[in-house]
Structures are given as structure tokens and as C-alpha cells.
Copies of this chain bind each other. A is one copy, B any other.
């Protein structure tokens, strides 16, 4: 069984890390906060697919990435807002030739990992289609879905993605290989761009946004802009993928996207990875996304207020 080091103990890291551990993989955890709680109480996944517990005795938790033993795969499950510090937060846990699997949202995240960890053997991008929230240290609520798609970045050996997907399938996760990681990243943005931003700005869950004609139209427009930019940038996304995403979201239980929870929790939002990087790529491709840009500017304003509030107490 291949060994894993999971860096970051948010909902994504806890959910898939627990599944890998339950399937018998050695799993090491590198966490910045909540380490003591996880050592004391283990992990708990309250899941629509059946609950899962990892006992405290089975937990291998490290505060410092340089203390973690070398694993075959290092999972980056940090928020992208920490990506400036990837080299410090993750790098020491990555042995020469190890696979780094990037379980993050947004665009350009694998390139940042590749740059920060030149010793990695392969960089794999992983996208999770899942509704899950961290309830507290070591406890995650898994509400819906759970599929993962993965593909290699740049010149990495495609077998690194196949091995990850095989391991995930072994945990009972629906996992598939994507031939073109960039296309998959843009497809994920088609959902993330409208719902993350509007849920924060309008204080609303997915059902409310789709239930009102005005915001349903705006969600569709934002999706169209993302699809247009993806195609202009050479990453083919079908125009009717929009309708598929709307229908998928209609079928979901009312959902508060991660950005909404981050903002309400006083944490910074993933604006750079989910908005700035796609907007830059769209502009370079000659397909600006004006409505996406308006949403980004509004988020920056709200994020700035968070920073100001922090500073003044």
C-alpha cells in the first residue's frame, strides 16, 4: 500500500485522508492547527455514504512538515490562500521523487506546487466534486457527492495520476482520470466562479441563487463567460456544460460553498486562484470576462474589509 502525507486538515484533507487510512494506507497528517485534538480524539467523518472513524491510536500527526516521514504521495489540502508559503508548509514533507497531489480549487495551483517543490517526481491535480464542511478539528460533515477527477501537470508521468485514482477507487471513492488537466480545471471553475462569489456577496446558498430568476440568469452568464474564456484559451469545454452544471446544482441539497464559510468564519477567501488567475488567462486569450471581473472586485472589497477588521481588532 502506498503511503500518504496529507498537509492541511480542512474538509477535503480529512475526508479523503480518512478514506485512504481506512483502506489501509499509512497516512501521516501535517496540520497547522487542531493537531492536539486530532491526536487525542482521532478523526470522524459524518458521511452520507456511511460514517467513518479513525481512532486516536492510529493517528500520525505532525506540526512540522520536516518531521513527517517520507511518503509516496503528498496531498496538498491547504486553502490556496496559503499558497505563497507552499515551499515552507509542504516542501519539507516531499521526498525526492514523491508524487504531490494538489487537492485545491482554482487555476495555476499545480504550477505553483511544481515551482515550490522541484524535488517532486510528479505533480497531479485533483478536483473534488463534493459537498463537505469541517465541523471542528478532526470532524468533517460529508453532505453530498464525493467524486474526484485527477490528471497530471505538465511533463509529469501520467502513471502518477493513474496510481492516485486507483488508490481512491480502492477507498470506495468514484475517481476518474482526466486526459487534459487544464480542461478539467476550467470545467470546475464553471461551477466555482458563480457560486462561490455570489454566495458571499449576496449571503445566499445555491438554492436561493438558482431560485430567483435574476441570479439564475447571472449564474448562467458567469458560466458562459468562463466557458467562453476556456475555449478561447484552447481548452475545449462544451457550451451546454452550463446547463449540465445548473441541473446538477438544482439537484443538490441547498449548499453554502466553501468561500461563503471562509468569509463568515473570518478567513481570507480564495480569490486569487478562483478569480484572478482565470481572469488573467481569459484576458491573455482575448476573451475578457466582465461579469466575473465585477464579482471579483466585489469580493476583493469584502475581503479587504475582513483584513481591516482584523487589524483593528
**Inside 8 A of A202's CB, which chain B residues have their CB?**
201, 298, 301-302
Partner of A215, one of B198, B291, B293, B297: B297
Q: Which of A180-217 contact B (CB under 8 A)?
A: 198, 201-202, 204, 209, 212-215, 217
Q: Does A235 contact B (CB under 8 A)?
A: no
| A interface: dominant SS | helix
Interface residues of A in 120-158 (CB under 8 A from B): none
CB-nearest residue of chain B relative to A215? B301
**Chain B residues, Cβ within 8 Å of A221:** 290, 293-294, 297
Whether a CB of chain B sits under 8 angstroms from the CB of A236 is no
Which B residues are in CB contact (< 8 Å) with A298? 198, 201-202, 214-215, 218
How far is the CB of A82 from the nearest CB of chain B, in Å?
21
Please, how many angstroms separate the alpha-carbon atoms of A221 and B204 in the complex? 26
Q: Are B297 and A294 in contact (CB under 8 A)?
A: no
A98 within 8 A of B: no
List residues of A (206-252) whose CB comes within 8 Å of B's CBs: 209, 212-215, 217-218, 221
Q: How far is the CB of A246 from chain B (nearest CB, A)?
A: 15
Q: Within the assembled complex, what's the spacing in Å between the Cα atoms of A221 and B289?
A: 13
Given contacts A201-B201, A298-B201, contact A214 B304 (CB under 8 A): yes
Q: Does A300 contact B (CB under 8 A)?
A: yes
**A30 proximal to B (CB < 8 A):** no
Q: Min CB distance, A292 to chain B, in Å? A: 9
Complex contact A204–B291 (CB within 8 A): no
Any chain B CB within 8 A of the CB of A117? no
Asked if A90 lies at the interface with its beta carbon under 8 angstroms from chain B, I say: no
The closest CB in chain B to the CB of A301 belongs to B215
CA distance A304 to B293 in the complex (A): 24
State the Cβ distance, A305 to closest chain B Cβ, in Å.
8
Option from B204, B217, B299, B300 in Cβ contact (under 8 Å) with A297: B217
Q: Is A295 an interface residue (CB 8 A)?
A: yes
- The answer for the CA separation of A302 and B215 in the assembled complex, in Å, is 10
Collect the chain B residues with CB atoms within 8 Å of residue A290's CB: 221, 290-291, 294
Q: Name which residue of chain B comes closest to A308, CB basis.
A: B212
Residues of B near A295 (CB, < 8 A) are 294
Closest 3 CB pairs of A and B: A214-B300, A218-B297, A290-B290
Chain A positions near chain B (C-beta within 8 angstroms)? 198, 201-202, 204, 209, 212-215, 217-218, 221, 290-291, 293-302, 304
- 6 further A-B contacts with Cβ under 8 Å, apart from A217-B297, A290-B294, are A202-B302, A204-B301, A212-B301, A218-B294, A218-B301, A290-B291
- Selected A-B contacts with CB under 8 Å, 14 pairs: A204-B301, A212-B301, A212-B304, A214-B296, A214-B297, A214-B298, A215-B297, A217-B297, A218-B297, A218-B298, A221-B290, A290-B290, A291-B293, A294-B294
